[in-house]
Amino acid sequence: MTLFFKFDFNAICQIVLEQTLKDNDIKYKLIGFGEIEVLEKLTSDKQATLQAALDKYQIEIVENQKSILVQKIKDTIIDMVFNEDTVVNVKSSVYLADTLGHSYGYLSNLFSEVTYTSIENFIILQKIEYAKQLVIKQDLSLTEIAFRLNYSSVAHLSTQFKNTTGITPSAFQRIIAKRKAFNQDNNQD
């Protein structure tokens, strides 16, 4: 039997962080996604213990200022793409600059320097990942998915989807439909 799960990545990360901080008896205040204010002085031993506890979830404490800003860029992009409550009616470059308080040129150069890829590529990867989730978990048409992801057309979505995954979104939909039908047939036996 195959089970399909729908989950909120942000909520899971927040729960893991909160539980790990509580387990390590660290007083904290949540500021935003991926950002926590520690309300006490952490000894290097306590910080090492905390990092060890977070390692099993592949969560890393970021201390370098450039890396912190790059993580904020990633978090802002993920929120912009995945959060249905975040409606972005402006270009992503304007949204990032306004949200993070730096020029887009600076953010773009820093992101490329640290990650060896562009902000645009990261946005495309996140959009395509979300498009795949929408195909798997919801019965939306490609037009509805393109609209939800702020694409100018289904053709634009299809081109980026195929360039990223190697198959068209229509082919992906057919594969998922066949997989679901196969699993339903096997579960009825």
Using pLDDT thresholds of 50, 70 and 90, give the confidence band for residue 112.
very high
Distance CA 158, CA 23 (A): 46
- The tens digit of pLDDT for each residue in 153-168 reads 999 999 999 999 999 9
Decide: pTM greater than 0.85: no
pLDDT given at position 189: 59
| Lookup result for tokens 């645009």 | 120
Q: Residue 18 CB: number of other CB atoms within 10 A?
A: 13
Domain 122-189 bears CATH identifier 1.20.120.430: no
- The tens digit of pLDDT for each residue in 114-131 reads 999 999 999 999 999 999
Mean pLDDT throughout 66-70?
88
Phi, psi of 87 (to 5 degrees): -95, 120
Distance CA 120, CA 95 (A): 13
Nearest-10 crossing angle of helices 104-115, 119-137: 80
